[in-house]
A and B are shown apart, each in its own frame.
Chain A
Amino acid sequence: MAATNRPLSPHLQVYRPQITSMLSILHRITGVALGLGTVLFTYWLTSAAYGPDAFHRAQGLMGSWFGLLVLFGFTFALYYHLCNGIRHMFWDIGMGYEMTTLRKSGLFVVLVTIVMTIATWAYIWSRAGGS
């Protein structure tokens, strides 16, 4: 049917990459990653229902170098999705649509995400006695 051959959203490939679009897709990527990460969260919390041995196994897995690497990634994803989600809430009430504001708020979100991620892991590292 020729009449239905209209432009359909999303048609990302026609745009030059820029901070607004990159941060927009990063919101979805981190959202999907966090969605998949709920499997790990469910395993961790459910393991406690199976008693001390299962819980200690889960805690050991999270504390391994691979577990810590994954958790570091999740910390970044969660802080980004959280901060950018708050940015979305301002848009939802009709605020912050000017191009200069969009770029500034985007950069601010990235900055806050990096600072919060580093601060969280620096705190974890310091409490673990630098080991």
Chain B
Amino acid sequence: MEMRSPLGRVRGLGSTKSGTQHWVAERVGAIALVPLSLWFIYSVVALNGADYVTFKLWLGEHGNAVLMISFVVALFYHAKMGLEVVVEDYVHHETAKVTTLFIIRFATFLSGLSCILATLRVAFIG
């Protein structure tokens, strides 16, 4: 059954035209996060109560730094995608929706950058 109004059909409304790309991108992050988040939980459990020197030595190991940065990138990428979908589904007021989407993009970018730079600083300078 055709659910679109004649005007909507003429205007070509009803499709964001980039939905598939967003859907795939959300899942790329998700697949990467399966092993990475298990590694993260394993690591923070092992680091429970660790002092700064122990943490620095741990993060200074090449493999741990690589995995931490990978985890950070996948985490904030996936969080951005997921939160965007939730906001688009439930926030209907246009100004509130656009504002929230902007906050999500800025916050995930800044948080991700801060985590990556912190990892590099601790690993290389500490």
Contacts and interface: CB of A to CB of B under 8 A. Distances in A.
Contact of B51 (A32, A38, A56): A56
Interface residues of A, number: 38
Contacts, number: 93
The A contact surface, by secondary structure, is: helix
A82 B121 contact: no
B79 A34 contact: yes
B82 A31 contact: yes
B11 to A, nearest CB: 11
Interface in A81-131: 82, 85-86, 88-89, 92, 120, 123-124, 127-128
Given A34-B79, A38-B79, A48-B121, 16 more contacts: A28-B86, A31-B82, A32-B83, A35-B79, A42-B115, A45-B68, A45-B114, A46-B115, A52-B52, A55-B55, A63-B48, A78-B37, A82-B38, A89-B30, A124-B48, A128-B49
Interface of B: 3, 5-8, 27, 30-31, 33-34, 37-38, 41, 45, 48-53, 55-56, 59, 68, 72, 75-76, 79, 82-83, 86, 89-90, 108, 111, 114-115, 117-119, 121-122
Interface of A: 1, 3-4, 6, 9-10, 28, 31-32, 34-35, 38-39, 41-42, 45-46, 48-49, 51-52, 55-56, 59, 63, 75, 78, 82, 85-86, 88-89, 92, 120, 123-124, 127-128
